Amino acid sequence: MPLNHLAILAAKPRSKPYKLTDAGGLYLEIRPSGAKVWRYRYRIEQKENQYTIGEFFADQREGHISLERARRARDEARILVKKGVHPLYARREAVRLQTIKQDSTFKAVAKEWISRKGENWSKRHTKIVKRALEVEIFPAIGARPMDSISPVDILQILQNISGRGANAYACTIRQWLAAIFHYAIRTLRATGNPALVVRGAIVRGKAQHSKALSPKELKHLVLALQTYRGDPGTKLGLRLMLLTFVRTIELRGACWSEFDLEAREWRIPAERMKMREPHIVPLSRQAAELLRELHGITGHREFLFPNRRNPKTYISATVLNGALKRLGFLGENTIGFSAHGFRATASTLLHEVGFHPDVIERQLAHQNRSQVRASYNHATYMAERQTMMQAWADLVDAILGHPSNVVALSPRTTSEFTPIQSGTNYSSSTGMP
């Protein structure tokens, strides 16, 4: 006689397991522990087998298999048995395929790709890639299997980004997508690379190099900074950018622990440098004074320029450029000077007044691709760089109409360096007002 729900609930445990038979090979095993387990008995090649369907819970908790559900599972199993397939093997294969499917979604593959590639990336770059995927890619194709994603899907994502005027960003996204699909192909989770198909669909556009200020423009900027009524830390940050001409990320992420104001040195660790080499920034007398002023504002924090909303991190990339916009140097109908332009400004003027290119390039922490020049370390030309950084600060004072005793370095036909006499007048060579 077939089972019913009341009979199942009334079944009590005994000292030994016993069965309550339903029909078609389905039965409920009552165990001494009180557990009630559904089983299906069947034969393949004249050999009897048992397939465990699941457990019946009186309180219908998660995982509960009701009588109706057990009968459906039995019927599905009978179809497999007629084909000579063991239900247990079929269930294991279904689980395996589902696992593969889940591991083959774009999001799963992308995260795996990041974990592998991220071992050789900086924390900052890893964060940038993760953020781009989470914002631009995952909402569109993250849950889809790799092989279900077409070039049309990729092109739509890129066009959405390009539509915001971010063509260069769209091209970078496409490169990351191509790398992720290539990884999926190598790990047998994709058969094609749709990101390669749309290569060239978005044009990156002509690179916009950072503008270098003329001495007259530099004077106007520094004078404007003196009357700037915004955040004092931001004001000091722009002045420090001018005197040290480091990259904006190197300045924004600067920690007080990196500075030795007595020795007048700023030692930036390798992990914060673009070229992954430690870098020393000799500090001029003016830069050291500026840092002491800044220390009175943020010296109790880890970072020189802490984020207002979260002081445990540093200011965003928009803060310095935002100040330049408010000063009228960046944006529409302006000269288009961004914070990164301090590097171009210093490089241009230092070349004009006769500093040796190798000293300038080393202080800019540019990667030197020459095999001959690649042998330098982070302290190369340190004496010359110390002299140059003080001369640069004095040159800025001279441009502002506050001349100092300036010492510079003069290039020779060889790699030797000799100081120019103190008190050099730079007006003729720079076109200062």
| Same domain flag for 303 and 387 | yes
Q: b/e per residue, 247-276, with b = 16+ CB within 10 A?
A: bbbbbbbbebebbeeeebbbebeeebbeee
> What is the tally of structural domains in the chain?
3
Supply the pLDDT for residue 181. Answer: 94
| Same domain flag for 423 and 280 | yes
Q: Which residues of the chain have pLDDT under 50?
A: 369-376, 405-433
The answer to the question of residue 203 being in a domain is: no
Q: Which residues lie across from 266 on neighbouring strands?
A: 259, 281
Last residue of a domain, one of 58, 82, 100: 100
Supply the pLDDT for residue 205. Answer: 62
- Domain membership of residue 35 as a residue range: 5-100
Supply the pLDDT for residue 242. Answer: 93
The answer to the question of residue 209 being in a domain is: no
Q: b/e per residue, 281-317, with b = 16+ CB within 10 A?
A: bbbbebbbebbeebeeebeebebbbbeeeeeeebbee
Q: Of residues 235, 252, 272, 343, which has the active-site annotation?
A: 343
DSSP conformational letter for 153: H
| Same domain flag for 147 and 81 | no
Last residue of a domain, one of 197, 227, 245: 197
Helix (H, G, I), strand (E, B) or coil at 242: helix
Q: Of residues 274, 295, 301, 325, which has the active-site annotation?
A: 274
Q: Which residues lie across from 52 on neighbouring strands?
A: 39
Is residue 343 among the annotated active site residues? Answer: yes
Supply the pLDDT for residue 150. Answer: 93
Q: Looking at residue 143, which CATH number applies to its domain? A: 1.10.150.130
| Same domain flag for 259 and 333 | yes
| Same domain flag for 156 and 44 | no
pTM score of the predicted model: 0.54
| Same domain flag for 287 and 377 | yes
Is residue 274 among the annotated active site residues? Answer: yes
Cα(277)–Cα(259) distance, integer angstroms: 17
DSSP letter string over 307-362?
-SS-TTSB--THHHHHHHHHTTSSSTTS----TTHHHHHHHHHHHHTT--HHHHHH
120-177 pLDDT, tens digit per residue, is 888 878 888 999 999 899 999 998 988 899 999 999 999 998 888 788 889 999 999 9
Is residue 71 among the annotated active site residues? Answer: no
CB 2 within 8 A of CB 27: no
Is residue 276 among the annotated active site residues? Answer: no
| Same domain flag for 220 and 158 | no
CB 26 within 8 A of CB 11: no
Supply the pLDDT for residue 203. Answer: 83
| Same domain flag for 233 and 324 | yes
Q: Of residues 71, 239, 247, 279, which has the active-site annotation?
A: 247
- Extract the tokens encoding 196: 């390669």
Supply the pLDDT for residue 408. Answer: 40
Is residue 366 among the annotated active site residues? Answer: yes
- Extract the tokens encoding 228: 């700037």
| Same domain flag for 305 and 221 | yes
Is residue 36 among the annotated active site residues? Answer: no
Q: Looking at residue 45, which CATH number applies to its domain? A: 3.30.160.390
| Same domain flag for 363 and 416 | yes
| Same domain flag for 241 and 134 | no
